[in-house]
Amino acid sequence: MSRPLRIDFVSDIVCPWCAIGLHSLLQALQQLGDEVSAEIYFHPFELTPDMPAEGERVIPYLCHKYGMSEVEVAHNQAHITERGAQLGFAFDFRADSRKWNTFHTHRLLHWAGEQGRDQQLALKLALFEAYFSRNLNPSDRTLLCELAAEASLDAAEAGRVYDSGEYAEAVRSEERLWQQRGVSSVPAIVFDQRYLVSGGQPVETFVQVIRDLPSEAV
């Protein structure tokens, strides 16, 4: 009999290690098969909350924020691209790739979560692909409605939610909650509401963590 497993996944769409972490986690769950019956709950974290609507090119942004050279940024991006390829996920970092404000994205993901876990996961994966593989703005209204439809959600309702500003306070409340719980970087993945794993860990690490959970129960 499968063991129920709750997974809380705190992340942002413009975080490459969040994309790696999610794809690694999903492959771990696939390897575990019937050992667990997992439900993933996605929670918001904004890496660029003050980013203007027009966004900013990634390379200058990273150089300024972390005091890195363009060569160092390129090296890190190459490493991320390699990790993604190992998981079957394509990163396409370009000179004109941009960072975006993702607040609207998180509002739509919150709404998707109310429709169902599968729909929220499908939208999350589609957003990662749209941003990292196709260099699209994940907060663009038209894109969000298109991806909502692909995730078996109502595109018209997605547009209504986007235009209404609905779930704004819910997203901010969740962000505050996870910050109060000590989350300051993402991805932050919490298993069974008690065991935290940070970063884009390898598949094998997630498999081992999940298998070790019963013996660590208190």
- In terms of Cβ atoms closer than 10 Å to its own Cβ (0-12, 13-18, 19+), residue 193 is exposed
Q: Record the pTM.
A: 0.96
CB of 94 closer than 8 Å to CB of 132: no
- d(Cα 72, Cα 30) in Å, to the nearest integer? 34
User: Structural domain boundaries of the chain?
Assistant: 3-216
**Cα 6 → chain centroid:** 16
- d(Cα 129, Cα 97) in Å, to the nearest integer? 14
CB of 192 closer than 8 Å to CB of 4: no
At 169-218, the pLDDT tens digits run 999 999 999 999 999 999 999 999 999 999 999 999 999 999 999 755 44
The pLDDT assigned to 206 comes to 98
Mean pLDDT along residues 138-162: 98
At 57-107, the pLDDT tens digits run 999 999 999 999 999 999 999 999 999 999 999 999 999 999 999 999 999
Domain 3-216 = CATH 3.50.30.40: no
- Give me the phi and psi of 39, to 5 degrees please: -125, 125
pLDDT band of 42, cuts 50, 70, 90: very high
- d(Cα 142, Cα 5) in Å, to the nearest integer? 35
* Amino acid identity, position 191: F
The pLDDT assigned to 178 comes to 98
- d(Cα 184, Cα 29) in Å, to the nearest integer? 26
Percent with pLDDT over 70 in the chain: 98
